[in-house]
Homo-oligomer: A and B are copies of this chain.
Amino acid sequence: MKLARFDANGQVHHGIVEGDVITAIEGDVFGDYSVTEKTHSLQAVTLLAPVTPTQMFGPGVNFETHLAMAAAITGNSGMQPTPEPWLKAINSLSNPGAPIVIPYDSKVGVEYEGECIAIIGAITRRVDPDEAWNRILGYTCGNDVSERDWQVNDSSTWRGKGADTFGPIGPWIETDFDPRRGGDMIVRIDGNEVNRVTTADMYYDFGEVISFISQHVTLRPGDAIWSGTSGRPETLQPGQVVEVEVTGIGVLSNPVAAEQP
A interface list, Cβ under 8 A from B: 54-55, 57, 60, 82, 84-87, 89-91, 103, 105, 125, 154-159, 162-164, 213, 215-220
A60-B155, A156-B157 given; A216·B163 CB < 8 A: yes
Among all A-B residue pairs, the 8 with the closest Cβ atoms? A86-B156, A159-B216, A163-B216, A87-B87, A91-B218, A91-B217, A85-B158, A84-B155
Q: Within the assembled complex, what's the spacing in Å between the Cα atoms of A184 and B218?
A: 33
Q: A54-B90, A87-B89 are in contact. Are A217 and B155 (CB under 8 A)?
A: no
Instruction: With both chains docked as a complex, state the minimum distance between the C-beta of A252 and any C-beta of chain B, in angstroms.
Output: 21
Q: Which residues of B contact A60 (CB under 8 A)?
A: 155
* Contact A217 B156, beta carbon cutoff 8 Å: no
CA distance A60 to B154 in the complex (A): 11
Residues of B within 8 A of A82 (CB): 155
B215 touches A89 (CB 8 A): no
In the assembled complex, which residues on chain B have CB atoms less than 8 Å from the CB atom of A87? 87, 89, 156-158, 162
- Complex contact B158–A156 (CB within 8 A): no
